[in-house]
Structure 1
Amino acid sequence: MKKLLSLAIVALFSLSAMAQQVDLRKKINVSGSAEAEVMPDIIYISISLKEYLKDGNSKKKVEITTLENELFKAVQNAGIAKENLSITNLSSYTAIAQKKKNPDYLASKQYRLKVTDLNKWNAIIDEVDAKGIAYTNIDSYDYSKIESLKKELKIKAMQAAKAKATYLVEAIGDKLGSALDIQEINNEAFPQPMYRSNVMMMKAEASDAAPAAEIDFKKIKLNYVMNVVFEIR
């Protein structure tokens, strides 16, 4: 009997606590959005250099160091910081060992170059032996002020949500209170670069001056939605 009475008291207190936790405040749930489109101003290009035999003569090889020096010099002449050019394929360092085993081995190296102007890239590629270029293509691109733009759009979306909630609440004669809950939804679109001819910007397997393909850049689109719950006073 005492156990049943104790259980009843516990259940009564539990129901009372649950009733006290029920939020009886009047609320309004709205959303605000803001979006923007920007052109990419940072471009990452991959470059693959490969040794080749001059005129098909196995004794006359164009060394990878020669091709590298041409690339380094071209980057410097274009006014691009050397830090913007980096080796991306660690297997490139095995070339020395491979050459010792096989004198006919044709070494290759892959690089990644950061540019802000494709005209500079065209100037760079013109200074490198076309036959020593296995391929080049665009890896990705970005916008230099992307973080400040994101912040600006989120603020605008939040302000839009508040403005909407304000005129809706005032339409029924009430006043808008504080924000009780905020949820952020983002839709960021970083489309891949589109090529009018081929996936590769250049492939110089058979030509000394293979033309670069034209590239269509699509804008980076940012869209933010803020879902906000406001108290109605």
Structure 2
Amino acid sequence: MKKLMMALAMFGGVLFSTQAQNNDKAPVKKIEVTGTAEEEVLPDKIFVSVTLREYFKDKDNKNRVDILVLEQQLQKAVAEAGLSKEALTVGGINGYREWWGKKKPTNFLESKTYTLALANLSKIDAILNRVDEKGIFSTNIERFEYSKIEELKKQVKIKALQNAKEKANYLLAGIGEQLGEALEIYEIDNGYYPQPVYAAMKREMAMAADAAPMQESTVDVQKIKVRFDMKAVFKIK
């Protein structure tokens, strides 16, 4: 029993001595900085919404322009622009009845909403100019996309981390210190992707749809901006 108590006492003394040595160890000098990077790219996928609606050529509800006629005009315009059939899809079908004064509605007019997938907006004006102007109810940009967005996010994060290291380097150089290895790295995910501007598309309709030349727009779309902050802790040598 006496030997056991002596052994425990010796073990406790070694443990206390080790802890004391650890407590006496000098703290690691370190610097914590945040790096920032951002990139802007043009979207390579643009989705445009086009709504066609039936209408009457005459005021007395005669000579209705059928939705299929308008649809065929749009399909033909898309093909003439060099786009595939898959670029145009139906997104919704609606209908309504017109009321004339106190009379009950008798005429049902149909409307269809299409989604047109484009690589850019260079051909959109020429496509819409080929469709009956009165049959186009509305157009707007649904959304922008960039097919390599994940790769872009990786590149921006790396640049943000490099920016953090560069910042730590010149800060330490200003006080005569040297940068050591990275101790900790934190990802601050604040990437953002602005929504498209839902502004009305201006179109020149001076010429008849079947005679309008296939002119291309030279106006670029809104760019997609990606930004990230990376926090890093470095050892000071």
Under a length normalisation based on structure 1, what TM-score does the superposition of the two structures give?
0.68
| Residue in structure 2 matched with residue 138 of structure 1 by the alignment | 141
Partner of 1:33: helix, strand, or coil?
strand
Q: Deviations over 1:86-144 (max 9, x none)?
A: 2222xx1x65xx8xxx7610000111112123231112112211111111122232344
| Residue in structure 2 matched with residue 161 of structure 1 by the alignment | 164
| Residue in structure 1 matched with residue 79 of structure 2 by the alignment | 76
1:1-233 alignment to 2 at 5 Å?
25-89=28-92, 92=93, 104-169=107-172, 172-173=176-177, 175-190=179-194, 192-193=196-197, 195=199, 199-201=200-202, 217-232=221-236
Contact 1:45 1:114 in 2 (8 A): yes
Contact 2:54 2:67 in 1 (8 A): yes
Change in CA separation of 1:111 and 1:125 when aligned onto 2, cut-off 3 Å: same
Distance 2:70 2:183 in 1: 61
Change in CA separation of 1:119 and 1:169 when aligned onto 2, cut-off 3 Å: closer
Greater per-residue helix proportion: 1
What is the CA distance between 1:218 and its match in structure 2? Answer: 4.0
Q: Deviations over 1:159-201 (max 9, x none)?
A: 1212333454565545512332312243535253375xxx354
Distance 1:179 1:84 in 2: 50
What is the CA distance between 1:34 and its match in structure 2? Answer: 1.5
Q: Deviations over 1:14-34 (max 9, x none)?
A: xx9xx99xxx54432111122
Distance 2:163 2:220 in 1: 34
- Report the RMSD for the aligned CA atoms in angstroms: 3.9
Which structure: larger Rg?
2
Q: Deviations over 1:43-92 (max 9, x none)?
A: 22111111111223534211111111211121122122222222222xx1
Gaps of 5+ in 2: 1-18, 98-104, 210-217
Change in CA separation of 1:186 and 1:44 when aligned onto 2, cut-off 3 Å: same
The one-letter code sitting in structure 1 at the alignment partner of 2:196 is Q
| Residue in structure 2 matched with residue 5 of structure 1 by the alignment | none
Gaps of 5+ in 1: 1-15
The one-letter code sitting in structure 2 at the alignment partner of 1:50 is R
What is the CA distance between 1:220 and its match in structure 2? Answer: 2.9
